[in-house]
Amino acid sequence: MSSSDLPESVAGNIANWTRTNAEYTDSDAAEAWTANEIAWGVFGVREEDLGSPLGDVNERDVVELGCGTAYFSARLAKHGARPVGVDPTPAQLATARRMQAETGIEFPLVEAAAERVPLPDASFDLAFSEYGASLWADPKLWIPEAARLLRPGGRLAFLTNSVLAYLCFPDDPAQPADDHLHRPQAGIYRMNWPGEDGTEYHLSHGDWIDLLHDTGFEVERLVEVFAPPNAVDHGYYVTVTAEWAQKWPSEDLWVARKASARRRRRDTHTEIETISNDDNAPSARG
């Protein structure tokens, strides 16, 4: 896939995140980079409170798909990981490089869309995304890229809006989720909010499971993320309030594992045996 083959949503999302960088993520980067604790989502739920979806990252080769200012990768580096950050937005990566210079935490940063990553096959033990590719890249393209980049047995973890939160978002993106369903779940996939440059991608749980399975992943966990009791509303992201997220899951965190070569060979042999047995079975019409 050449750059010209990328979805047109990539350009719009670069424009969206260039603006967001100027409004928020650049000024927030210093605080985000100095934190040591691995935490997820709008309300910063601790990794261990979610059952450690990333696992032990020490000495692991890690790729963050849609890294933004790369603060999450920086935290993993502090825990012994060897991260690589991938993001299509130059402004976000410029902030990340500035923070690398200021903190001395250095790791590769690659300007690329998650739908087409210019890195070799089977390079990583872990691929992850926190509101990066998981929300802003076409999952029918970035999930296969994650599978390509992972070694056999490698882990994929990603967090995005929960299906319920998405259905409860009003059409006005400046308003947080409420207790009404504002759109049907049937057919959800791509969303362009009024007046916004960016394109989001939302899948139902069943569609995520099918896509992951079809791409060679085994789904290990789906964690429905609630805000902790002491959570307060985020100062910039207004998608959900802390009160809402304490009652309903605001985020879905998926954990999947790329099937090992041995497992995949066994599955292939099983499929061949099934086909052979079906060929020898009596016809239903007979």
Domain residue ranges in the chain: 3-280
**CA dist., res. 148 & res. 128, Å (int):** 13
Segment 75-90 mean pLDDT: 99
Span 96-109, pLDDT tens digits: 999 999 999 999 99
Residue 285 has a CB neighbour count (10 Å cut-off) of 4
Span 160-210, pLDDT tens digits: 999 999 999 999 988 999 999 999 999 999 999 998 899 999 999 999 999
Amino acid symbol at 163: V
Segment 251-269 mean pLDDT: 73
Q: Which residues contact 185 (CB under 8 A, 6 or more apart)?
A: 163, 167, 204
**CA dist., res. 172 & res. 193, Å (int):** 8
At residue 5, the pLDDT reads: 80
3-280: CATH architecture: 3-Layer(aba) Sandwich (3.40)
Segment 251-271 mean pLDDT: 70
At residue 3, the pLDDT reads: 55
**DSSP label of 151:** E
271, 253 in Cβ contact below 8 A? no
Span 35-74, pLDDT tens digits: 999 999 999 999 999 999 999 999 999 999 999 999 999 9
